[in-house]
Amino acid sequence: MAAVEVEGLARHYGEREALADVSLSLRRGQTLAVLGPNGAGKTTLLRILASLLRPHGGRVSVLERRLPEESWQLRGQVGLLAHEPMLYRSLSAQENLRFHARLHAVGQERITWLLERLSLSERAGEPVRSFSRGMVQRVAIARTVLHEPELLLLDEPYANLDPAALELVGPLIGAESRRTRVLCSHDPIGALREADVVLGLREGRVAVQGPAHEISVEQLEALYR
């Protein structure tokens, strides 16, 4: 059963085409790696799938909900980890997670578990603005998975994380999480290792697409030349 179905997707900003005639299909439990240089349309695609942007053309279905018509039914089923952490920097890690938890009727037990799982408990009461970039990323990951979404939309999820932190977040957002994932990355080797399906974008158009085992690192590296 498909988790994401996109056909002929188009989105523009004024006269600039951000996405043009993009189609893809992702089954539940699979990972789609989206690669391409800055400005290729990766973030725009994620924001459309998260129902934060309206497409200007084409058809989009996420978890069997049509977008944007049925986007209100998706909010509790999707977790978005954006390039910006979407945290209140003046609030503590604990307060940020409590705020998000209220939106999804999640209890304190889940917050406490995630803070411990991500080695944030000792500084949970400190403002996020005092954290390193790696710690901020861990809080953002906790916020993303707090409500146990079925679909993860991840924009450079491993940015600013050291090897120890990577081990902490792997079970939550990595391949071992066994969640359906759309993963935007600039790392062809790492993306191929995690992906079932690959989508390479260049200037908003599909340049490379197919099962991960049929795509080479060289094909993906060519996107950045």
Contacts of 102 by beta carbon, 8 Å cutoff, 6+ apart: none
Q: Is residue 39 part of a domain?
A: no
DSSP conformation class of 175: G
Residue 216 covered by a domain:
no
Q: What is the pLDDT of residues 39-53, one digit of tens each?
A: 999 999 999 999 999
Q: What is the percent of the chain where pLDDT is above 70? A: 100
Look at residue 111 and tell me if it is in a domain: yes
- From 148, 144, 142, 85, select the one nearest 115 (Cα to Cα): 142
Domain range enclosing 111: 89-148
* Domain contains 188: no
pLDDT, position 221: 93
In-domain check, residue 139: yes
| pLDDT score of 151 more than 90 | yes
Average pLDDT for 46-74: 95
Nearest-angstrom CA–CA distance, 3 and 153:
12
Query: Is residue 209 domain-resident?
Result: no
Q: Return the structure tokens found at 87.
A: 């945290």
How many domains does the chain fold into? 1
pLDDT at 1: 78
Contact 194, 174 (CB under 8 A): yes
1 found inside a domain = no
Torsion of CA 187, 217, 166, 106, to 10 degrees: 80
pLDDT single digits (tens) 74-131 = 888 999 999 898 999 999 999 999 999 999 999 999 999 999 999 999 999 999 999 9
Q: Which two tokens stand for residue 69?
A: 């018509």
Q: What percent of the chain has pLDDT over 90?
A: 94
Q: How far apart are CA 167 and CA 35, in angstroms?
A: 23
Structural domain includes residue 59: no
